Amino acid sequence: MTNKKQIKPTESELEILQVLWEHGPSTVRKVHEEMAKSKDVGYTTTLKLMQIMHEKGLVSRDTSSKTHIYQSEVDQQQTSQQMVNKLINNMFSGSASRLVMQALGNHKTSKTEIEAIKRYLDELENKS
């Protein structure tokens, strides 16, 4: 997978990448079918987006058979990290704690999730 300095996929491109990360190399039809489960999207729109993503280097395309197989060329963890960093910087003035407090304040957090967060915070505290 390529190591892009700054990965900047659009929201629609992120949805396609999510399908490729979850299902692995896939045809346009497979990606389209997965996306159509949650939103109204045309096949030709999915195809065009994937062609643009190929031009950007976000996906590679195997053309050795009649149906082209697309594969993500960006790492899910790296992309997630860059997107969260961008969100923290743009919306929360660089404060990760403000992001966490906003997220926890806006969503019903289960006891199990709170315990996992506490364990993670304890681990972070023990590292420093």
pLDDT one-digit tens code per residue, 30-84 = 999 999 999 999 999 999 999 999 999 999 999 998 999 999 999 999 999 988 9
pLDDT at position 30 is 97
pLDDT at position 41 is 92
pLDDT at position 23 is 98
CB 21 within 8 A of CB 76: yes
Residues 29, 35, 40, 41, CA torsion sign: negative
| CATH class as words, domain 11-75 | mainly alpha
The domains of the chain are located at 11-75, 77-127
Report helix, strand and coil shares of the chain as percent, to nearest 5: 60, 5, 30
pLDDT at position 5 is 54
Please identify which residue in the block is written with the tokens 């420093």.
128
Residue 103: pLDDT band with limits 50, 70, 90: confident
Query: What whole-number percentage of the chain has pLDDT above 90?
Result: 73
Q: How far apart are CA 29 and CA 9, in angstroms?
A: 21
pLDDT at position 2 is 47
Task: Give which of 2, 24, 20, 4 is closest to 83, Cα–Cα.
Answer: 4
pLDDT at position 127 is 86
